[in-house]
Chain A
């Protein structure tokens, strides 16, 4: 694969997207380490205070709630989706199969 250099041209758009994504994530990361200045959009110096404030029980509750909702959703989707997928694959009627696939 590497012996065909024109293939690199096909990877270029994806690389560009990945780079933009990494840059955005890096910006978020550095924002998370800055101090909050009330009444201003500009962040202050570098601190770890934000992560210390995350330890409040309120935020722990939100995180637990989120994980719980995700778990419930995955479970119910599996329970409802499995018979559906089974019916989809095992349908004898070809027209029905084509229309649903």
Chain B
């Protein structure tokens, strides 16, 4: 369909590419993110938006200066969850990536059940766990200043 419309020149290669894996993972993670963001957005008092609008702010300005800053805790929570969620993804990269896109979980599987090198697979998974904690701690530290502009 997109080919006929002239939007793309060649069929998009989804299988066995990083792009395909990311697309599939976004598809899987989307509900979690939407639920967390919707929870955060529904807790914002609508009166703040109405007050901003009554003081002469346009819809876009209301969104950028009121709604978006008030929803930062939800954004941080959603991004962190999505990140940790994707980090443990195994089936999606295995099926879509087909061995060409390697994520930690797939490598552990290959080492454990193709080479039967259980000790090395275990050390790899421990390293993956440490890396996850490190990245999440980093994200927390990076998000700390953003947390202040949330609701007081």
Contact = CB atoms under 8 A, between A and B. Distances in A.
Contacts of A33: 119, 123
Give the size range of A's interface with the partner: 35 or more
Contacts of A76: 22, 26
A43 B101 CA distance: 29
Interface residues of B, number: 43
Contact residues of B: prevailing secondary structure: helix
Nearest to B22: A72
A37 B28 CA distance: 39
B53 interface: no
Given A74-B86, A78-B75, A62 B107 contact: yes
B51 interface: no
A79 to B, nearest CB: 9
A74 B83 contact: yes
Given A54-B123, A89-B38, A36 B22 contact: no
B41 A85 contact: yes
8 contacts: A59-B107, A59-B124, A63-B131, A74-B82, A77-B29, A78-B82, A80-B26, A81-B33
Interface of B: 18, 21-22, 25-26, 29-30, 33-35, 37-38, 40-42, 67, 75, 78-79, 82-83, 86-87, 93, 101-104, 107, 116-120, 122-128, 131, 135
Interface of A: 28-29, 31-36, 41, 43, 50-51, 53-54, 59, 62-63, 65-67, 69-74, 76-78, 80-82, 84-86, 88-90
